[in-house]
Amino acid sequence: MIIKNKKRYILFLTIMFVMIMFLTTFENAVFAQERVIYYGSDPDAVGKVQRNLKDWGYYDYNIDGHFGWRTEEAVKSFQRKHGLTPDGVCGSKTLEALGLSNLISSPAKKTTNRTQTAGGTRSEAYLLAQCINGEARGEPYEGQVAVAAVILNRVKNASFPNSISGVIYQPGAFDAVSDGQIYLEPRQSSIKAANDAMAGWDPSGGAIYYYNPVTSTNQWILSRPIINRIGKHVFCK
Amino acid sequence: MSKNVIIGVLVVALAVAGFIGFQQNEDKTVYRTQLENTYQYNFQALLTTVKNIETNMSKAMISSSDSMSIELLSDVWRQSDLAQNYLSRLPLGHRVLKDTETFLNKLSNFSYAMAKINMNGKKLNDDQQADLERLKNSSTYLLQQLNTMNEQIQQGEVKFSSDDINQAREQLDEASDNLVTKGFTAVDKEMVDYPKLIYDGPFSDHIEDIKPKGLKGDKVTKEDGEEKVKEFMGDEIESIESSEKSEGVITTFMYNLNLKDKEENGYIEISENGGNVLKFMKNRLPDEQKISMEEAQKKADDYLKEIGYVDMVNTYHEKYSNTGVFNYAYSQDDVVVYADLIKIQIALDDGEVLGLEAQGFHMAHHNRKIEEAEITLEDAKENLSTRLEVTSERLALIPTEFETEVLCYEFKGTYKNEMYIIYVNAKTGKEQQILKIIEGDESVLTL
């Protein structure tokens, strides 16, 4: 009986182990995916390819962002000239030869949105998105933009730190930071809301505070002059 | 027999639990000490910077040479910026610290503005000298308070990280028992007792009371606004779900919209003065890109004309979340007025207009009399660094950080494959501002 159990136990462990191994490698495979530009690809990326091909005399038509047969022919002749396999598809080697290596590692796949949005100048937007995802993900869309706008209004206000990270990580300023919800992966709507706020949309009316009147007991914040209400939040000066 | 086994198992379990408990307690102590150390470091660093600020302010008051003043004031600028940084990392809550933080930000701002006056070869006038002295007195007071707190901390009377996090929070909220909090509340009261500071800087008091230059039209009611919304959105809306008055920087009416044939809803805001559409957004996330930014821009151009804005030039566009955002600035007599800005958001799946932001435009737009440039384009160009390869040039009215506007020649050029925009003051011929374009994949400046 005991031996049988032990056997079962070992079998179970082995299965678990194999599954974990499988899952981790699978995940890696998804993350390492390289971008390939061909028929039906993102028009802006195709446009960049077309522009370079045109500049270098391989392509003589409109830069329309559509990967048609003319673009394919142009890619093929470019590949032949550069000793690449003339398959008419822009893989990493072709993109590199085209001087567009920045396009290679942006896997526009839904599973890895993080890399798509976190890169370069957008890192502050991502932090902002994390914060509003933790603070206001159940709120209407303009309510999420408003919370992001409050953070940006604080950056510009003399009574607060002068950077997005400074405002977000100020001790006790946001519940989502205190309880760690900020580290959840933000939803797409939070990412767009953060970017909208950075682009200048501010439904909060220039607010620097907000609270939920149902849960807030802080007398000081309740005494601030109210600007407006969006969803469950009250925004104030 | 079986009884013994149970006892044995329980004893082992107890020992394991005890061991885990002990380890966790150890961990907790380590973490709390680390946290306390971080807070202590921030406090000590704050103390040091405020000490330096106080000393340099005193020196600046009696300094008679420009170069010395510049050095001292620049140092106050740098140190007060650091000080507010350290201050905001203390776990004392915004309410307790906000006036001290404001003081440090204004001090930083003020000393920068004063250093700039000296840099332009001018002396501070009597008012500015008096402001300097008042701010110096405030920093002396702040330093004294911090010193008192420091004594309490060194004697172990005050700890930033308390045993019980909830208790610590309560202490902060009540702002009574905690000596640190008490000290800071007293500092705060003193800090707001200085008169208004007027200088050219973003935190200057006269900037905070600024009124919109546009939006001069007659007042409208919430009902009038509703009519405007219906007129503006046309067939698109099913119904207006709710509305709300918003009394922020300016007074507006906000309306929540149910959109026809759509699951998503929308939001639109109308100004009370003049009944202008300030902004709207539709709550939709396009899940793929089907049209190019060029096509999207055409849609944005057309839309802008359709809603009645003329003489606008496209200045910048960016792309995120499968949407394109296009910025337009007003152009008057071939001068680009950057303060009057409108943004239009286009969905990159079907080209639908997802958002409009015209509040900036309506706040800033007014009848301007743009003065003639006093220096010629050629003269302005001569002053540019020869290292820059100029690719385009034009006149622009740029907003400064203290809400004024300056007429400049705008030069776009490259140096070592990086793009820069240089603004040369069209009156003085001096470089007003240098911008470096960090061109991501997804944003393009169009000059």
Q: Which residues of A touch B175 (CB under 8 A)?
A: none
What residues of chain B, 31 to 90, have a C-beta less than 8 Å from chain A? 81, 84-85, 88-90
Residue B371 falls inside a structural domain = no
* Last residue of one domain, picked from the residues B163, B182, B208: B208
The strand pair at B312-320 and B443-445 is best described as: antiparallel
3-state secondary structure chain B: CHHHHHHHHHHHHHHHHHHHHHHHHHHHHHHHHHHHHHHHHHHHHHHHHHHHHHHHHHHHHHCCCHHHHHHHHHHHHHHHHHHHHHHCCCCCCHHHHHHHHHHHHHHHHHHHHHHHHHHCCCCCCHHHHHHHHHHHHHHHHHHHHHHHHHHHHHCCCCCCCCCCHHHHHHHHHHCCCCHHHHHHHHHHHHHCCCCCCCCCCCCCHHHHCCCCCCCCCCECCHHHHHHHHHHHHHHHEEEEEEEEEEECCCEEEEEEEEECCCCCEEEEEEECECCCEEEEEECCCCCCCCCCHHHHHHHHHHHHHHCCCCCEEEEEEEEECCEEEEEEEEEECCEEEEEEEEEEEEECCCCCEEEEECHHHHHHCCCCCCCCCCCCHHHHHHCCCCCCEEEEEEEEEEECCCCCEEEEEEEEEEECCEEEEEEEECCCCCEEEEEEECCCCCEEECC
Residue B127 and residue B257 in one domain: no
Whether residue A133 sits in one domain with residue A223: yes
The answer to whether residues B417 and B284 belong to one domain is no
ipTM: 0.81
Same domain, A57 and A142: no
Number of domains in chain B: 3
Please report whether residue B372 resides in a domain.
Answer: no
On whether residue A58 sits in a domain, the answer given is yes
* B193 shares its domain with B300: no
The reply to whether B187 and B336 lie within a common domain is no
Tell me which residues of chain A, numbers 90 to 129, contact chain B at a CB-CB cutoff of 8 Å: 102-103, 106, 117, 119-122, 125
Tell me if chain B has a CB within 8 Å of the CB of A186: no
Residues A129 and A231 occupy one common structural domain: yes
* CATH number of the structural domain spanning residue A215: 1.10.10.2520
Residue A33 lies in a domain: no
Arithmetic mean of pLDDT, A208-218: 86
Residues A178 and A205 grouped into a single domain: yes
Phi-psi region of A216 (alpha: psi -120 to 50; beta: other; left: phi over 0): beta
Q: Are residues B99 and B196 located together in one domain of the fold?
A: yes
Same domain, yes or no, for B203 and B244? no
Give me the number of domains chain A comprises: 2
- Residue A33 pLDDT: 46
CATH number (domain holding residue A47): 1.10.101.10
Task: Give the model's pLDDT for residue B438.
Answer: 65
Of B102, B291, B325, the CB nearest to A158: B102
pLDDT band for A128, please (50, 70, 90 cuts).
very high
Long-range Cβ contacts of B235-238 (<8 Å, 24+ apart): B235/B260, B236/B260, B237/B266
Instruction: Flag if B105 and A43 touch (Cβ within 8 Å).
Output: no
> Which residue, of B333, B364, B395, is where some domain finishes?
B364
C-alpha closest to that of B360 among B336, B329, B401, B331: B329
Q: Does B252 touch chain A (CB under 8 A)?
A: yes
Claim to verify: residue A140 and residue A185 sit in the same structural domain: yes
Asked if pLDDT for residue A120 goes beyond 60, the answer is no
pLDDT at A109 over 80: no
Question: Which carries the bigger pLDDT value, residue B75 or residue A40?
Answer: B75
d(CA A162, CA A155): 5
Q: Which residues of A touch B84 (CB under 8 A)?
A: 161-162
Are B162 and B258 found together in one domain?
no
Residue A236 clears pLDDT 80, i.e. is over it: yes
Provide the domain limits for residue A97: 43-103
Same domain, A126 and A218: yes
Q: Give the per-residue pLDDT at B281.
A: 92
Q: What is the predicted pLDDT for the residue at A210? A: 92
- pLDDT tens, A5-34? 666 666 666 666 556 555 544 444 444 445
Other C-beta atoms closer than 10 Å to the C-beta of A107 total: 18
- Does some domain include residue B217? no
One domain, residues A91 and A171: no
Residues A94 and A195 in one domain: no
Q: Which residues of B touch A207 (CB under 8 A)?
A: 248
Pairing of β B353-357 and β B237-247: unpaired
CB of A40 within 8 Å of a chain B CB? The answer is no
Same domain? For B76 and B124 the reply is yes
DSSP A74: H
Q: Is residue B191 part of a domain?
A: yes
Same domain, A198 and A153: yes
Per-residue pLDDT at B173: 45
A229 and A195 fall within a common domain: yes
CATH of the domain at B402: 3.10.450.40
Per-residue pLDDT of chain B (447 residues; tens, 9 = 90+): 678 899 999 999 999 999 999 999 999 888 888 888 888 899 899 999 999 999 999 998 888 788 888 999 999 999 999 998 998 888 877 777 777 888 888 888 889 888 888 888 888 888 888 888 888 888 888 888 888 888 877 877 667 776 544 544 454 444 333 434 555 555 555 555 555 555 555 556 555 556 777 777 888 888 888 888 888 888 888 888 888 888 888 899 999 888 887 777 889 999 998 888 999 999 889 988 899 888 999 999 999 999 999 899 988 888 888 999 999 999 998 899 988 889 999 999 999 999 999 988 888 888 888 888 888 888 888 878 778 888 888 898 888 776 678 899 988 888 887 788 888 888 888 888 787 776 655 566 554
State whether residue B161 sits within 8 Å of chain A by CB: no
Evaluate whether residue B345 is within a structural domain: yes
CB < 8 Å to B267, chain A: 140-142, 203
Q: How far is B68 from chain A (nearest CA, A)?
A: 28
Most confident stretch, A55-64, A118-127, A134-143:
A134-143
Instruction: Report the run of H or E that residue A214 belongs to, with start and end.
Output: none
Identify whether A229 is part of a domain.
yes
The verdict on residue A163 lying in a domain is yes
Count of A–B CB contacts within 8 Å? 150
Q: Is residue A36 part of a domain?
A: no
B235 shares a domain with B167: no
B359 close to A (CB below 8 A): yes
The answer to whether residues A127 and A78 belong to one domain is no
* Binary contact (A201, B281; C-beta < 8 A): yes
Is A80 inside a domain boundary? yes
- Domain coverage including residue B147: 2-208
Q: Which residues of A touch B290 (CB under 8 A)?
A: 43
Residue from B106, B135, B160, B249 whose CB has the most chain A CBs within 10 Å, to mutate? B249
Cβ <8 Å between A203 and B172:
no
Q: Is B14 within a domain?
A: yes
Structure-block tokens of residue B360:
């900036």
Q: Is residue A148 part of a domain?
A: yes
| A95 part of a folded domain | yes
pLDDT at A31 (0 to 100): 42
Is the domain of A78 the same as that of A173? no
On chain A, the residues whose CB falls within 8 A of the CB of B90 are 171
Residues of B in contact with A230 (CB under 8 A): 244, 254
| Confidence class for position A113, pLDDT limits 50, 70, 90 | very low
Quick check: is B302 in a domain? Answer: yes
| Assigned domain for B215 exists | no
B172 and B94 within one domain: yes
